[in-house]
Every structure is written in structure tokens, then in C-alpha cells.
Structure 1
Amino acid sequence: MSVETILIFVLAAVAVVVLVRWVAERTGLPAAALLPLIGIAYSVLPGPNISLDPQIILTFVIPPLLYGAALDSSLMAIRRNLRIVVSLSVLLVLATALVIGIGFAWFVAGATLAAGIAVGAAIAPPDPVAALGVGRKVGLPPRVLTIIQGEGLLNDATALTILSVAVAAAVGDGFSWGSAVGQFVFAAAGGVLVGVAVAWLVRLLRRLRDDPLTGNAISLATPFGAYLLAEEIHVSGVLAVVVAGLIIGHHAPRSSGASRLQTTAVWRLVEFLLEGFVFLLIGQQLPRVVRGLEQYALSTIVIAVAISVGVVLLLRPLWLLLTQSLPRSLHTRLINDDGDEAEREPRRGLPGREVVALSWAGTRGVISLAAIFAIPLTTDSGAPFPDRDLLLFCTFIVVLVTLVGQGLTFAPLVRMLGLRANKSDQARLRNEARAASVEAALERLEELAEEGDEDESRAIEATRAQLRARRTRYQGRIDLLRDSDSAEVPVSPRYEAALRVRRAAIDAQREEVLRWRDAGQLPDEGLRVLQRELDHEEGLLPERR
């Protein structure tokens, strides 16, 4: 394929991704479900097609996607829900791989246990992109979003480790439970240690130099460095990337504001383009997947697909129901209100509606296809890898059924369940934090006033007046939210009017500095400086919340 052809492909893909995003925003349909359908439609047309290279996906696509998601996650929220996150991202993945492996060994003619566990490991980890996109749009409660996000960050490492063990057994001397467990523990523990080490190194580099450009360069290099270092010592590169991202993201609020704003913008663009490309790429694999099925009887294909899809769709809700019905400790979390003696709070289980939503949030994605395509063509003896083409087809069908079927129906299901976050409580908590930050600033000004000279005293008084006005505004917002009986954010005519007036003033300033530039009174460099100031001022204006 020529360079010009590749460039045309890239430009066309960007155009499709942007168009699908526009359609998704106006229809409510998830882009992650629409893009594979477009990829399938393109794949059946005459002309060149792009084949998925598993090494490129696993090395250049998966690490930045996982790292970007980890930066946007909450380490503390995941820790609070660690039991269910581990249950879904480790134990359920293990159970899914084993059940599918046993099903293949028992019911699929000629299939081995190792080959079955390999395909089970590939299709076991959900890709949370579609579910999170829909969940945020329809307003899922934060706890459900945290569980989906935490599961998606950790399950890939579990699945890829199981896959490597299963493939080694299939191409070598057979499956050994002791060896498999040992390899899994070593890979997981090593991945965690590498992630912690990389996070420590990145934080050290940022303390030495924290300008925005250097911070962005380090941030973009971090997932690849963590992945390659872990893979070099034969531990879980995926887990290293996730751990590094969680730790760095947790400490990101302590970095400079300019670096944080720019890094956030860069990673949003990276995630938007990469996710769009990989979902288009999923659909384009259809001809390659179907090509090798002629050697199998129709009954064998149907049984293998039924086992794969059935276990993926049924085991998840059964697992959630089982784990939620297990006996729980009555005292699991300490709460200290007065600083003297801590009271214990019973751990809250998942309500039935949240269990149903999580059951349907198991969409599979590109990592499943990348994993199954990474299976070698032959074993150590030179024989073809057992049933490789059948495993590819089963994985593709599972990805397609979950990504399109569950992706398109997830939003209607959540709406039918009436499962929505209490936006009023969330807005009240944010405004209380804002008010607390203003109080801290006023206290700091009091300390400065005791030591400052006359010029500083004038500046302190002016700043104090601004902060007091802001505190009054926040307190009024808090009172309005506390008195509201609705889960939605109440509308305050005075608050909305103030925002409209401030936005109108900023628009007028923009028009005036642009008029100066067009009249030749202000150079473009000066215009960009003033526009950046106005952009930051507008960015400080809150949405209606």
C-alpha cells in the first residue's frame, strides 16, 4: 500500500469518526456501536482493506488508551469499590475463560482445553468505552461508572496473562495448573511493581521541570515506557500502564495548572482519534475472519459461537447476582466524625437496578480481537495452531454482538430502569467544596495582612472583596440545592442571568480585540495573548449546575 493510499485512508477515517460523533450526539446512539457497522459495510466493498496487526494494536494503541482512561479515573473511588472491581476484573475473567475452555473441550469437535481457554481469555474482558460513553450521557450514578471504569482498566491485564499461559500450553507440552498459576501471579505482581516504579520516576521528572510542553512530552511517553519495560522483563505490560496511570492521575492535581490543562486536552484528542480508528478497524476484519471457516462443519461453528456468546452474556449477570448474595461483614468501613472514636458503617451492596445495568455493560472491543489475532499460526512442532480460524470467528461474533447489541440497547435499558445520578447532590457537594476553598483563601489573606505593607494591604482588601462576593454566591447556590426536592439541578433565574451577562461581556471583548487586529492597530501576536486570557476567563464560567 503506497504512502498516498495510507494518507487517504487516515483522512477518510478521521472524516468518518468526526461525522459519526456528530450523528451520535444528535441521536443518542453510541459511536462505539456505529463505527464497527460502518467498518463492516466498507469491508464488503471492492477495494483495499486494512488488516489488524495485533502487535501494533497491543504496543501502540492499547497502552495510550488504557493510560488515558487511568488518568481520568479515581484511585480513591476504585479503592472504595475494590472488592467488586477485583471480582469483575480478575475472578470473573478467570471464570469466563475456564467455562468457555471447558465448553469447547466438551462440546466442540476436536477442540482442546488450552485452545478453548485461549478464546475464553480473549473475549472475557469487557471494553468499557461504549458503556461509559452511554452511561455518562444518560447520567448513571458515579459508583456504577467507577465500577465499569475500574473493571475495564484491570481486566485486560488478567485476560492477556491468561491468554499467554493458554497459548504456551497449546503450542508446547500441554496445560499445567501449577505453572499457569505461577506465571499469572508473577506477571501480575511484576506489572504492579513496574507501574509503581514508572509513576515514581515520572513524578520525579515533573518536579524537576513542570512546564506544559515538557509535561506533555513525558505524559505521552509514559504508557509506552511502562508497557515496553514490563514486557521486556516478561511481566504484565497492560497492568504496568494502568497502575502508572492511576498513581500519576491521583497526584496530577498537585502539578501546575497550565500543564494539567494542556495534558488533559492532548489526551482527550488522543483518545477520541484512537478509539474511533480501532472501532472502524474492528468492522473491517470481517473478510479476514470469515476466510478460514470453510474447513469447519456448520454445526461445529454454531456450537462454538453459541458457547462463546452464551457464556459471555449469561455468566456476567449470574456472577453479579451470586457475589451480591454472598454473606457480608457487617462492619467493613470506619467513619470518624469527631476525631475521637470511629464508628463503623455497614458496607452497602449494589441495588438490583445497578446489578442489571452492570450486567448489560459488558461490551467487548478491540483488545479481544488484538489478543486472538496474536495467537501464533503454528505450534512448536510446526503443526497449525488448533482451530485458530474458528477462534477468530467466535471472538469477532462476540465483539460484534456485544458492541452493537448491548451498545445500542444500553441507554434504553438504563432509562427504563430509572437509574440516574442525583445531580442536585453532586452540584451541592461541588459548591460546598468551592465555598471551603474560598474560606481557606480568606484565612490565608488574614495571615498575609498581618505581615504585608501598604501596597499589599490594598491588594489584599481588593482580593478579599472578590472572595467574599464569590462566597456569598456559592452559599446562595448551596441553600438553593439543599432546599430542592428534585434529583435534578434546580434553575436559579438570578444565577442564570449572571452567567449570561458575563458571557455577553466576554463576547464583546473578543469582538473588540478582533476589530483592533483587523484595523491594523493590534498585531496577531498580541491578539492571541488577549484571546487566550479571554478563553481562560470563559473556561472558569460554570455550566448550569
Structure 2
Amino acid sequence: MDLVHHTEEILIFILAATAVIVATRWVSRRAGLPAAALLTIIGIVYALLPGPNVELDPEIILTFVIPPLLYNAALDSSLLDIRHNMRTVISLSVLLVLATAMLVGVGFELWVTGATLAAGVALGAAIAPPDPVAALAVGRRAGLPGNMITLIQGEGLLNDATALTILSVAVASVDGEGFSFPTAVGQFVLAAAGGVIAGVVVAYAVRLLKHLRDDPISANTISLVTPFAAYLLGERVHVSGVLAVVVAGLIIGHDAPRYSSGASRLQTSAVWRLIDFVLEGFVFLLIGQQLPTVVSRLHEYSTATIVTAVAVSVGVVLLLRPLWLLLTQLLPRRMHSRLGGDSTSDRREEKALTGTEVTALSWAGTRGVITLAAVFTLRDNVPDKNLLQFCAFVVVIVTLIGQGLTFGPLVRRLGLRANRADLARERNEARSAAVQAALDRLDEILQQKHDHVEERAIETVRKQLTVRLERYRRRLDLIEKAESDEVPVSPQYEAALAVRREVIEAQREELLRWRDSGMLTDEGLRVLERELDHEERLAERS
């Protein structure tokens, strides 16, 4: 009976948490606030109420939560865009993390009574990597330019590996002769290089399964196990499992259009969006619930020590980032040709950030689950473990709630937003080129005179493609004549779109009437509805 009762309690908690996550998303979408910050606040409020709390298990988070979240983020990122912005991405995700860890370590050794350099570096490594979830959610909603989205994504993907490697070196030095910066850098390089190799191995192993990936169910199964395979391989060979996950995700996401069927990509994308939504929701609720556990362990420290430690941690995190961005943007950009490719042959050359972009990027440093998961892995022999965990928790709360809730208003105040007209022009030009390629292929088929292909069928397809090409070209003409950076609205286009929606809705109603009258099975209804759903989605994106 006890087991049954315990199971029922877990189920009730999961259902209640799920309801809170869904409700918070609804509020977030309407209020324009980041769901991550709102969920953290809800978690804190719940933690202060009487009743049981769920404590964060760092091993479960690092093994079962971080890999799928990072992998999905990597799938949605652009390998080419990250490569073109490699100079800034490396600066933020590697060098800034190293600088943050070292500065926090030195600050602890100098100003926090009884603290050691190794313990301070361990804390610095934990609080150094930003979690871009909140910033990206708000930034996309506010229309942040694509280069800013790329930088936030690229930094968030690679900085976790840097931080966790430094953390492991710092923790290991507690049992040794102290922290050594050259040793830390050497071990980081080895772990990072090994992580990259492990990620490439997993990515190419998945590529060998390309025939299985034509089937949506098989493709989903392979996709779901890939991040865990990459992480496990990295950890087993004692390199960065986190970096292995990221590299595998970037390569597989880049290859997906070439090696996966359309049906597989649609289903896999939907599955990962659901997993990402649920995992992130539970994680941020858990962050807030750690408050009682962390605070209850501070009785052995004086108020002055706690205040000094928190001031060093929060101060370094908030002040070093904007200073670092300003200084690195002033440096010569000679590294670009070596790190990001030949700028003379690439129209997307990496450019220096403007003052407003530096300001926005400085405020996009929200910390999250990786910080708490990392600092909660500290062993009992680490000096001032409880104080380090409290400092990490305060940094997460200050950045996640403080920066998370104010990032959207800041972006809007700065006037930073993507040029929607340019984006629409790029996509419609690509659509036109794709349709033109299809028309050229029809000409080739007609010239080859395949016996099994009727000219009438070719002409039918040609008419459909020609109508689509004309629509795209009219759209491009409208965009070219527009004087603002907003996508112009054509009354004729909107009217045609409304007609297409009405027609699709009429077809749905008729299919339902057939099903209800027994002339169509439910299975048949689902197949035909799926066809209409794809048609409707295509209409909305055209």
C-alpha cells in the first residue's frame, strides 16, 4: 500500500506540474514574459509553502536532461552561421568562461574568509555559462536580428562544455596540490578536442543509418537516442560528453535536409519541440524549489562572509560580460579569416557588433539549470560547498528573473529587430529559385520522352508550378517597392489567403460529415485531414 500511495503522490505532482507548465506558457505568450523566469518564480513560491519539495539530482540532470536539451538546440542552430561568427562565439563560450572562472576564484581567495582558489574557480566555472533559453524565447518574440540569435545560440551550445571541464579540473585540484591554470587549460584542450571527435563519430554513425531514417518512426527513435549515445561515448573515453552532444547535433541538423525524408523531419521536429517544452518546464520549476535546501545550509557562515561571497559572484557575472564584449569588439578582426572562413568569398562576413548589440548581448547572460546542476555535483570535501551552492543559486535567480524579465523591454527600447522585409525577400527568392529548378527538371523529363510519363501530366504540374512562381514573384515585387523594413501586406494576397483557408475549412467540414454518416472511417479521416493540415500550413507560409 505504501508503494501505491507513493506512486500516486508522484503522479499527482507530475500532473500538477504539467498543468502549471501549460498555464505558464499561456500566460507567457500573452504577457510577452519569459516562461523560464515565471516558472522559477512559481517554484520559489511553492518551495516556501508547507509540504514536500523535490530536490534537484545533479547526476540525473547532467545525464538525462542536459543532453536532449542541448541536442535539440543544436539541431535548430545553423552550423554555417556559427562558423561565420566563430570569432565572437569562441570569445564568449570559451575565453569569457575561463576569465569568469578565474576572476571569481581570485576574488574568493582575496576577499572571502577561509576560501581557497580552487573552490572559487569551481564556483566560477559553474556560474560562468549562460543558459540562453529565456533570452532566446524573448529575443525571438521581440524580433531580435538573426546575427544576435546566432551568437546567443552558439555561446549557449559551447560554453557548457568549457564550464564543466574547468569545474572537473578545479574539483580534482582540491585533492591535489592546488589549482594550476596551465594544467586547467591543457586538460580543457584535450577534453574539448576529444569531445569534438566523439561528436563527429556519432554524427557519421547516424549518417550511415540514412536508409532507416526514411521511416518516420525509425528516424524518431534514432534521433531520441543520439544525444545519449554521444554523451555516453564522450564520458566513457573521459572527454567532454556535453561537447560531443553539441557537435553531433550541429552536424546532424546540417545534414538532415539531405539524409532524411520530409515526413521524418516533420515528425522528428514535432517530437523534439514537445520534449524541449516539457523538460525545460520541469527544470525551471525545480530550480525555484531548491531555495529551502540551499538556504538551510548557511548556518555556519557569518552574514559578512555570505554577503561578500554573493557580491563577488554576482558582481563578476554582471560586470565582466559587458566589459569583455566592449574590449573584444575593439580588437583587430584578423582572426576572422582563420576561424570563420574567407570573408572575401562569403557575403555573410562577420562584422563588429554595434553599441546597441553589445548592450543587448550583455543582458542576455541568464544562468539556469546547468549552473545549479554543476554546483550541486560538488563533493563534500570541497571547501565551503554550501556557500558555493548558495552563491550559484543567487546568481541564477538574479540573472534568470532580473535579466529574463527585463530583456524584452530592453531589446524594444534599443530598437533592435530583424529586417523582416529582407528575410521575406531572401525566402521568396529561394522559393522562386526552387520552383524554377522544378520547371527546368520538367523540361528535361519532357525531352527524355519517358514512355511512362504522359505529356498531360507534365503540363498539369507545370501549370501548378507556374502559378506558384508568379505568386512568389509578385510578392518579391511588392517587397522591393516597400520603403520600410516590415513585410508589406497586399490586399489581393491576403484575400487569396483567406479564400484558401475557407476552402480548406469547407473540405474539413465535409470530411467530418462523411465520417459521422458512416461513409468514411476514422482512419481515412485522419489520413485526409493530415493532407489538409499540410496544405493549410503551406498556405500560411507562402
Q: Which amino acid aligns with 1:320?
A: L
Look up the match of 1:422: 419
From 502, 505, 523, the equivalent of 1:504 is 502
From 292, 306, 309, the equivalent of 1:287 is 292
Distance 1:60 1:145 in 2: 26
Look up the match of 1:368: 371
Indicate conservation of the 8 Å contact 2:356/2:416, yes or no.
Answer: yes
* 1:306 lines up with 2:311 in the alignment: yes
Instruction: Give % identity.
Output: 69
Moved more, 297-306 or 207-216: 207-216
Q: For residues 83-482 of structure 1, what are the structure 2 equivalents within 5 Å?
A: 83-254=87-258, 255-329=260-334, 332=337, 334=342, 348-378=351-381, 385-450=382-447, 451-453=449-451, 455-482=453-480
Distance 1:257 1:343 in 2: 29
Distance 1:345 1:256 in 2: 29
Distance 1:327 1:201 in 2: 40
Distance 1:431 1:532 in 2: 25
TM-score (norm. length: structure 1): 0.96
Q: Quote how far apart the aligned CAs of 1:206 are.
A: 2.2
Q: Which amino acid aligns with 1:367?
A: I
TM-score (norm. length: structure 2): 0.96
Deviation string 1:119-152 (CA, Å, 9 cap, x unpaired) is 0000000000000000000000000000000000
- Give the 3-state SS of the residue equivalent to 2:49 in structure 1: coil
Q: Quote how far apart the aligned CAs of 1:417 are.
A: 0.3
Stretches of structure 2 that go unaligned for 5 or more consecutive residues are none
Q: Quote how far apart the aligned CAs of 1:182 are.
A: 2.3
- Give the 3-state SS of the residue equivalent to 1:520 in structure 2: coil
Look up the match of 2:492: 494
Aligned in 2, Cα 1:13/1:415: closer, same or farther, shift over 3 Å? same
Indicate conservation of the 8 Å contact 2:336/2:350, yes or no.
Answer: yes
Indicate conservation of the 8 Å contact 2:87/2:336, yes or no.
Answer: no
Look up the match of 2:529: 531
Deviation string 1:278-300 (CA, Å, 9 cap, x unpaired) is 00000000000001101001000
Deviation string 1:43-73 (CA, Å, 9 cap, x unpaired) is 0111111000000000000000000000000
Distance 1:50 1:343 in 2: 51
Aligned alpha-carbon RMSD (Å): 1.6
Distance 1:542 1:79 in 2: 31
Indicate conservation of the 8 Å contact 1:331/1:345, yes or no.
Answer: no
Q: Quote how far apart the aligned CAs of 1:344 are.
A: 9.7
Aligned residues: 533
Aligned in 2, Cα 1:469/1:238: closer, same or farther, shift over 3 Å? same
From 10, 25, 50, the equivalent of 1:21 is 25
Distance 1:66 1:343 in 2: 28
Look up the match of 1:541: 539
Q: Quote how far apart the aligned CAs of 1:106 are.
A: 0.3
Q: Which amino acid aligns with 1:460?
A: I
Aligned in 2, Cα 1:193/1:297: closer, same or farther, shift over 3 Å? same
Indicate conservation of the 8 Å contact 2:213/2:264, yes or no.
Answer: no
Indicate conservation of the 8 Å contact 2:144/2:418, yes or no.
Answer: yes
Indicate conservation of the 8 Å contact 1:334/1:345, yes or no.
Answer: no
Q: Quote how far apart the aligned CAs of 1:171 are.
A: 3.1
Distance 1:448 1:60 in 2: 50
Indicate conservation of the 8 Å contact 2:47/2:291, yes or no.
Answer: yes
Q: Quote how far apart the aligned CAs of 1:177 are.
A: 3.1
- Give the 3-state SS of the residue equivalent to 2:539 in structure 1: coil
Aligned in 2, Cα 1:344/1:77: closer, same or farther, shift over 3 Å? closer
Aligned in 2, Cα 1:454/1:311: closer, same or farther, shift over 3 Å? closer
Q: Quote how far apart the aligned CAs of 1:371 are.
A: 0.2
Distance 2:12 2:346 in 1: 63
Distance 1:410 1:343 in 2: 32
Indicate conservation of the 8 Å contact 1:510/1:531, yes or no.
Answer: yes
Q: Quote how far apart the aligned CAs of 1:175 are.
A: 1.8
Aligned in 2, Cα 1:318/1:252: closer, same or farther, shift over 3 Å? same
Indicate conservation of the 8 Å contact 1:357/1:413, yes or no.
Answer: yes
Q: Which amino acid aligns with 2:278?
A: L
Q: Quote how far apart the aligned CAs of 1:521 are.
A: 1.5
Aligned in 2, Cα 1:164/1:345: closer, same or farther, shift over 3 Å? closer
- Give the 3-state SS of the residue equivalent to 1:220 in structure 2: helix
Q: Quote how far apart the aligned CAs of 1:208 are.
A: 4.6
Indicate conservation of the 8 Å contact 2:309/2:391, yes or no.
Answer: yes
Q: Quote how far apart the aligned CAs of 1:361 are.
A: 0.2
